[in-house]
Amino acid sequence: MAVEILKIAQEARSQGDAVGADLIIAFTLNLESTHLIRHSIHKQNPVLEGSFGEQLKGYRKQHKLTQRGLAETIDIDHSSLSRLEHGGRTPNLKTVKAIVNGLELDEKQTINLIISFHREGESR
């Protein structure tokens, strides 16, 4: 099964959808491998700790964007973005992808955000 997933991710990447490929891989990880990834990248990116909303806010501030600015970039209402940052709203996959693209997150940041999204989805 892992080989099939990697093939799908490679196909997405070859079609120019690197974020989609990363999302495919990240969402198919089991909890143990998710923990290993979190442990290995934590030292390089302290934003990893915290909720999806806390990470989103941290990345937004790193990019010196206001909530309104990011909301316009990813085409959502700024009040929706505020609810995402404060935990009052759970994003869907389309919104997560828009955030990753809108903030131009690097691979490690993308994985961090996806892991927190995945972790929160399991706890709800």
Name the pTM for this structure. 0.61
Q: Which two tokens stand for residue 6?
A: 């990697």
Closest CA to 20 of 7, 9, 34, 6: 9
Q: Which CATH number fits domain 2-123: 1.10.260.40, 3.20.20.70, 1.10.3720.10, 2.60.15.10?
A: 1.10.260.40
The per-residue pLDDT for range 80-111, each reduced to its tens digit, is: 999 999 988 888 888 999 999 999 998 888 88
Q: Which two tokens stand for residue 115?
A: 């892991």
Residues 6+ apart with CB under 8 A from 59: 47, 103, 105, 109, 113
Q: How many residues does the chain have?
A: 124
pLDDT class for 27, splitting at 50, 70, 90?
low
Torsion sign over Cα 10, 105, 27, 77 = negative
